[in-house]
Structure 1
């Protein structure tokens, strides 16, 4: 009898301990909302481990914007936009944050998924290097060795960037490099530059080396297309009320975070073991804020897209070989709930 009584007394303690130990392999990569009573529990998978671009999402959680819209948001780290597209399409996450070229390629492969609005409407795609190298135009890249990753959107659009500036792919040497190894390849001098996003690697390289970095953006030299935004599976899109609230909460989070970049970056503190230093996050976020609109969407809220910009992106993807067939925009973008341009 005494043993049964002792076991009963210990049960709540054991359950509490089990709960505390059930946070998974990468607990710091997640962030969840307030758990407000009656709120819908929603999972959002990022395109990568958290970095400055994601600050508005964490801001929206910390400052109750998602909760206000009845959403208890759990943010999960990703392993690349392609993996996020697959995970969301398979129902392993409710929503995703992913690159539009990856979404287009996913739709072509039959993954049942659509965009609910692109936020980085000017591509951050760029060639990044130490500022001391003095590259100012694509012509300066001739004969240089550049770290790239075979098969990704950057490697497929880079030849278009070169062609629009009078160069051929054979004018440079591409060194096939894993995404996580590009930074070290530049720092060690194995390559002259890397293909990456202007709001990502540069500040990290500068922090690690104490040297200035520069980014030659594709968009500044005649080539742009939609980049990262909110995605959902076709089955999730049937939950029209939830999707509508998620879209509104996301756009409001970006609007408010842009007003207070420091608070936005501060909202990310402690969210991931891989989180860059605060000063790196701030530079990444500041660079991200320059990418939110095209000339046709400057008067629209964050995440509001135009059919013309979508058409241009689809055509660019086809020209680059990212997709073989250009389908109607409605096959990629669901504007029935999304913010409309």
Structure 2
């Protein structure tokens, strides 16, 4: 091949490489993420996946901010200070979208609520959640999945609490142990050692609300303007997310990485993953139970009326178009 022809071939090849996601020369897209509750398994996917180089393979860089809960996460995305929010209560997202907030649901974060639990001091006089009628019962922030579960527990049990926003698991624990709150909330690994050590007693779980079992109680959201400006890049983000999720369940090194990240020992890390977070519950590409979620969102006054088909199509883009697996 003549030198001139070889140079012409290189000139034609380099631009093609530069456009190929994950290639050596690919320009990376940066996403700002707001994520509720650093430390729990579900919320580890992005940071641990990035640390392992998985998102970089797909031409994506993540800037991570951890929040006190789903309500704060959602507000960051609405304001545009975050492109993507992870682990946001679905009722709150639908309610905000109905009011015109620029949101897209790009994936399911969690189906079911088995990971969440409520506890009281062992010597505090509350042995079951039924004994908390009229007492303060914690949730993280307004519109969060913990808020949803507290409302669901009231409905399921037919009793009334005094639902109280308490922020993160650590701030909630302080309020419970100091007597400011009667029943706190947490998500593993937080508090598991205190349960095993007898300081606190689990009095309810998210799974005590049967209707949540097949519903996406938490979702991944995007700022609509950001999404519409680079939908293909969001598709690559979702490819990285799926790969990182698979890695967390398949590679023993991932479990070690989670233990170090969460400040847990190996046995606790494995217990958190296997007992509280079945992999199928974290699958992102379908938002489950939307019809029932909308009915409850109306009941709990997050929505004035169920979203119509057009509104749903505009809001929920998970698993479609560039986000398809």
TM norm structure 1: 0.69
Kept in 2: contact 1:202–1:214 (CA 8 A): no
Distance 1:255 1:115 in 2: 21
Distance 1:125 1:330 in 2: 30
Aligned alpha-carbon RMSD (Å): 3.6
Distance 2:198 2:130 in 1: 27
Query: Match for 2:33 among 40, 45, 48?
Result: 45
Distance 1:277 1:254, change over 3 A: same
Kept in 2: contact 1:265–1:278 (CA 8 A): no
Residue in structure 1 matched with residue 108 of structure 2 by the alignment: 118
Give yes or no for the alignment of 1:303 onto 2:284.
yes
Give yes or no for the alignment of 1:65 onto 2:54.
yes
Residue in structure 2 matched with residue 184 of structure 1 by the alignment: 174
Gaps of 5+ in 2: 1-21
Kept in 2: contact 1:86–1:111 (CA 8 A): no
Shift of 1:183: 1.0
Shift of 1:114: 1.0
Shift of 1:70: 1.5
Distance 1:289 1:319, change over 3 A: same
Residue in structure 1 matched with residue 257 of structure 2 by the alignment: 266
Shift of 1:94: 2.5
Distance 1:150 1:38 in 2: 39
Kept in 2: contact 1:55–1:257 (CA 8 A): no
Aligned length: 288
TM norm structure 2: 0.72
Distance 1:91 1:36, change over 3 A: farther
- Alignment of structure 1 residues 186-225 onto 2, 5 Å: 186-194=176-184, 196-199=185-188, 201-203=190-192, 205-206=194-195, 211=199, 213-214=201-202, 216-224=204-212, 225=215
Distance 1:285 1:132, change over 3 A: farther
Residue in structure 2 matched with residue 273 of structure 1 by the alignment: none
Distance 2:32 2:203 in 1: 29
Q: What SS does the corresponding residue of 2:191 show, helix, strand or coil? A: helix
Distance 1:147 1:50, change over 3 A: closer
- Alignment of structure 1 residues 21-100 onto 2, 5 Å: 37-53=25-41, 54-99=43-88, 100=90
Distance 2:316 2:178 in 1: 41
Kept in 1: contact 2:69–2:141 (CA 8 A): no
Distance 1:110 1:220, change over 3 A: same
Kept in 2: contact 1:119–1:228 (CA 8 A): yes
Q: What SS does the corresponding residue of 1:75 show, helix, strand or coil? A: strand
Distance 2:116 2:173 in 1: 15
Gaps of 5+ in 1: 1-33, 271-275, 294-300
Shift of 1:182: 1.7
